[in-house]
């Protein structure tokens, strides 16, 4: 499955002389690749804490591939960055809600803070009317400060709307597509550590650590043709 895509991308890059870097395209992510990135996702059999949130690689794969298709997450570099973020934030797909320290309204599979959960809910047509009904005073342009001031019950209610698998596995792709500068997506397309660092620091707004980097490196190796 990988060979035709690899050959095509090589052929294209040899003609696209002006392009600074070749984008490596990829096909669907497999459960085996996900296990290479998130080793504990091989099974949820003995999980006792928050067990209802645990998903195996086998269960997660179709939702992740649907999300990549929906938000045009196409390059190996983008997929590696998103999958490594999800694996890192969720302890290998075991959490859908922030439990440590337990911030109200923080969750989905990239463990987004409530202001982004709110924006994601409003951007998701299936749940937007319910989100708006729960928080009539807020809009798409409400500030982070205002949104953080929402009551805990409002935050938890809105988060609950996007915890379903078909939404929660897509939030990392939504975030990259809508909340990051397009230059970050382009940097990720290069499938380099420098590109990934710009995503982590300029878009996710956190710091590069050896632990995070190791998961990204594993993801890149698992997905590379
Ligand atoms: C779960 O625990 C049982 C009993 O200790 C053990 O036999 C089994 O290998 C464990 N499964 C996984 C996937 O860790
Ligand atoms: C809201 O939840 C946070 C935890 O996220 C907690 O620390 C805080 O006490 C709660 N506030 C109220 C008013 O219950
Ligand atoms: C959030 O609530 C606090 C306490 O009520 C208030 O002082 C602050 O101005 C509010 N912030 C925003 C951005 O509304």
Tell me the C-alpha to C-alpha distance, in Å, between residue 49 and each of 32, 98, 115. 24, 13, 26
Q: Ligand 2 center to residue 124 CA distance, Å?
A: 26
- Residue 43 three-state SS: coil
More confident residue, 222 or 5: 222
Q: Which of 71, 69, 36, 76 is nearest to 191 (CA)?
A: 76
- Count Cβ atoms within 10 A of the Cβ of residue 115 and give its class: 0-12 exposed, 13-18 middle, 19 or more buried: buried
Give the global pTM. 0.87
Q: Which of 13-27, 39-53, 99-113 has the lowest mean pLDDT?
A: 13-27
139, 144, 149, 155, best to mutate for ligand 3 pocket (most atoms within 8 Å of CB)? 149
Instruction: Please state, for a pLDDT cut of 70, what percent of the chain lies above it.
Output: 88
Determine contact, residues 131/104, Cβ cutoff 8 Å: no
Indicate which ligand has the atom closest to the C-alpha of 146: 3
| Model pLDDT for residues 80-137, shown as the tens digit of each residue | 999 999 999 999 999 999 999 999 999 999 999 999 999 999 999 999 999 999 999 9
| Model pLDDT for residues 160-169, shown as the tens digit of each residue | 999 999 999 9
46 lines ligand 1 (CB under 6 A): yes
Query: What torsion do the CA atoms of 76, 79, 85, 86 make, to the nearest 10 degrees?
Result: -140
State how far the Cα of 225 lies from the Cα of 223, in Å rounded to an integer. 6
104 lines ligand 2 (CB under 6 A): yes
31-223: CATH topology is: Lysozyme (1.10.530)
pLDDT at 24 over 90: no
State how far the Cα of 41 lies from the Cα of 32, in Å rounded to an integer. 10
Indicate the domain borders of the chain: 31-223
The model's confidence at residue 27, banded by pLDDT at 50, 70 and 90, is: confident
43, 46, 47, 94, best to mutate for ligand 1 pocket (most atoms within 8 Å of CB)? 46
**From the CB of residue 85, how many other CB atoms can be counted at a distance below 10 Å?**
25
45 lines ligand 1 (CB under 6 A): yes
């Amino acid at each position: 499955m990988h060979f035709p895509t690899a050959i095509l991308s090589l052929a294209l890059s040899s003609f696209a002389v002006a392009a600074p870097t070749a984008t490596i395209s990829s096909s669907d992510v497999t459960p085996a690749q996900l296990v290479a990135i998130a080793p504990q996702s091989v099974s949820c059999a003995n999980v006792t804490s928050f067990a209802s949130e645990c998903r195996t690689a086998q269960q997660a794969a179709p939702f992740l591939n649907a999300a990549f298709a929906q938000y045009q997450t196409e390059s190996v570099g983008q997929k590696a960055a998103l999958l490594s973020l999800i694996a890192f934030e969720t302890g290998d797909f075991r959490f859908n809600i922030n439990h440590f320290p337990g911030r109200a309204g923080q969750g989905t599979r990239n463990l987004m803070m409530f202001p982004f959960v709110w924006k994601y809910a409003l951007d998701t047509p299936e749940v937007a009317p319910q989100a708006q009904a729960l928080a009539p005073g807020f809009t798409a342009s409400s500030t982070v400060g205002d949104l953080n001031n929402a009551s805990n019950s409002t935050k938890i209610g809105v988060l609950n709307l996007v915890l379903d698998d078909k939404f929660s596995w897509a939030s990392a792709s939504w975030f990259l597509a809508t909340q990051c500068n397009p230059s970050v997506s382009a940097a990720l397309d290069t499938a380099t550590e420098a590109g990934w660092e710009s995503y982590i620091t300029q878009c996710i707004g956190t710091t590069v650590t050896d632990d995070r980097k190791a998961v990204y490196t594993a993801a890149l190796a698992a997905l590379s043709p």
